[in-house]
């Protein structure tokens, strides 16, 4: 980094004209991934290459590249001028800004029109979208990111279609249930109630005798029971203040959870089909109503 120390690269806004916002994004955060660290190094290197420094980070974890940058949880407020002054953006690659040509160009032109800098690792210097060569290269990198996104979406649609046609589950089981495989690492043969998780949900669904109208989230936050993200081995929510909390749900809503109804000897939730159109039994999965307390879509449970 040309002899620049880490403290010099990351420091508050000082009006030098090169106070940059570090942009990082990752669609899926897993324990084994090193992408956040690699993106950090690339961003710091790109900022140091132009003599700039990082004033803050817009880290959008568990955010799809298809999301409009203006509406992203961390980057959006900066682009809408709700977080303070900055002189430009620096990202590890163009696809970290977005995986859509229109979104990338809108962000790039916004930086250009406002007189701000746009920097990405692997590109020499600042992007100059007034230069046809730079504009064409930026557009091609954005186009490549969009083509990759479309390929990923097509593979996911095809996989989901084939799995549903075969009546096999996709992804992790809902909280309160567990998959049973006759052969280790084989296909799922059936879905059963999880002995511990289902009991937790049934206990939560029972209103407190002294606080019958207490919301479930308030009731469970006084108990050490882990949320579904901890049980499933998923990373915590982006908002660390809400990472270990349960969504405030009234008891009658949680009582409709399939694990609660089936554990109490009742059928699944109303309207839940028990058979596929071909007459074969459908694997019943309950909708997870108790999730980490956040309005972020990425911190919600998958709906069965």
Q: For residue 56, what are the contacts with CB-CB under 8 A and spacing of at least 6?
A: 21, 22, 83, 86
The pLDDT confidence band at residue 270, using thresholds 50, 70 and 90, is: very low
d(CA 100, CA 190): 40
- Mark out the alpha helices in the chain (DSSP H runs): 6-9, 35-49, 75-79, 101-113, 132-165, 195-205, 216-220, 228-231, 251-254, 258-263
pLDDT, averaged across the chain:
74
pLDDT score, position 184: 81
CA-closest candidate to residue 227, choices 253, 248, 209: 248
The pLDDT of residue 56 is 94
Q: Write the pLDDT tens digit of every residue in 31-81.
A: 777 889 999 999 999 999 999 999 999 999 989 888 999 999 999 999 999
Lowest mean per-residue pLDDT among 11-20, 200-209, 244-253: 244-253
State the Cα–Cα distance between residues 137 and 201, nearest whole angstrom.
53
pLDDT band at residue 108, thresholds of 50, 70 and 90?
very high
pLDDT of residue 277: 52
Residue 105 pLDDT exceeds 60: yes
Place of tokens 């059963």: 192
User: Using CA atoms in the order 66, 70, 75, 76, what is the torsion angle rounded to 10 degrees?
Assistant: -130
Domains of the chain: 6-150 (3.40.50.1390), 177-299 (no CATH)
- What is the tens place of the pLDDT at every residue in 164-214? 777 677 677 777 788 888 888 777 778 888 888 777 777 766 655 555 544
Instruction: Please give the model's pTM, rounded to 2 decimal places.
Output: 0.59
pLDDT of 258 strictly over 70: no
CB-count exposure of residue 232 (10 Å: 0-12, 13-18, 19+): middle
User: Dihedral of CA 129/134/139/145: which sign?
Assistant: negative
Q: What's residue 44's pLDDT?
A: 94
Q: How far apart are CA 286 and CA 175, in angstroms?
A: 8
How many Å apart are CA 205 and CA 203, to the nearest integer? Answer: 5
């Amino acid at each position: 980094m040309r002899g620049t120390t880490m403290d010099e690269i990351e420091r508050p806004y000082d009006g030098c004209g090169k106070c940059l916002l570090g942009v990082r994004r990752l669609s899926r955060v897993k324990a084994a991934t090193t992408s956040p660290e690699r993106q950090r190094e690339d961003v710091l290197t790109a900022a140091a290459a132009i003599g700039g420094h990082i004033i803050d980070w817009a880290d959008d974890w568990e955010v799809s590249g298809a999301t409009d940058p203006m509406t992203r949880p961390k980057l959006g407020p900066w682009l809408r001028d709700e977080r303070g002054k900055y002189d430009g953006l620096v990202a590890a690659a163009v696809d970290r800004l977005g995986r859509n040509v229109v979104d990338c160009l809108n962000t790039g032109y916004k930086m250009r029109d406002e007189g701000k800098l746009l920097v990405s690792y692997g590109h020499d210097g600042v992007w100059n979208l007034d230069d046809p060569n730079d504009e064409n290269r930026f557009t091609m990198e954005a186009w490549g990111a969009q083509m990759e996104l479309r390929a990923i979406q097509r593979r996911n649609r095809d996989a989901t279609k084939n799995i549903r046609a075969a009546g096999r589950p996709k992804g992790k089981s809902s909280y309160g249930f567990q998959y049973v495989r006759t052969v280790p690492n084989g296909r799922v043969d059936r879905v059963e109630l999880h002995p511990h998780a289902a009991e937790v949900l049934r206990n939560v669904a029972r209103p407190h005798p002294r606080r019958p109208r207490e919301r479930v989230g308030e009731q469970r936050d006084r108990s050490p029971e882990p949320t579904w993200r901890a049980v499933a081995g998923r990373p915590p929510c982006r908002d660390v203040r809400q990472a270990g909390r349960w969504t405030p749900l009234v008891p009658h809503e949680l009582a409709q959870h399939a694990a609660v109804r089936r554990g109490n000897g009742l059928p699944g939730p109303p309207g839940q089909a028990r058979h596929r159109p071909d007459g074969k039994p459908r694997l019943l999965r309950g909708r997870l109503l108790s999730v980490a307390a956040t309005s972020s879509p990425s911190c919600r449970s998958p709906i069965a």
